[in-house]
Amino acid sequence: MIARIVLFVLVFFLGYTIFSALMRWLRGQSSTKETKNDLDQMVQCAQCGTYVAQSDAIRKKKHGEVYYLCDETCLEKYKRP
């Protein structure tokens, strides 16, 4: 019984791996550029107000709200009262 479950999981995992690889291959065929829109979304620096790419910004959580800071200098300034 256990062997059957293990075999089923193994087959499922193998199938999933092949499927995801195939999907990645198909996506690579249609368009070479990856959609990284979520990462490149522009966010405003909480300290100086400059807009920076979300991937470059420093993410900070304060009082349950998320803040973005453009660099270490702004982060240090923002941390000070």
CA distance 16 to 13: 5
Pick the closer one to Zn ion by CB: 48 or 53.
48
Q: Which CB sits closer to Zn ion, 40 or 56?
A: 56
Is residue 70 near Zn ion by the rule CB under 5 A?
yes
Cα 51 to Cα 43: distance, rounded to the nearest angstrom = 5
Q: Which is closer to Zn ion, CB of 17 or CB of 41?
A: 41
Distance separating alpha carbons of residues 69 and 48, to the nearest angstrom: 8
Give yes or no for residue 53 binding Zn ion (CB under 5 A).
no
**48 scored as a contact of Zn ion (CB under 5 A):** yes
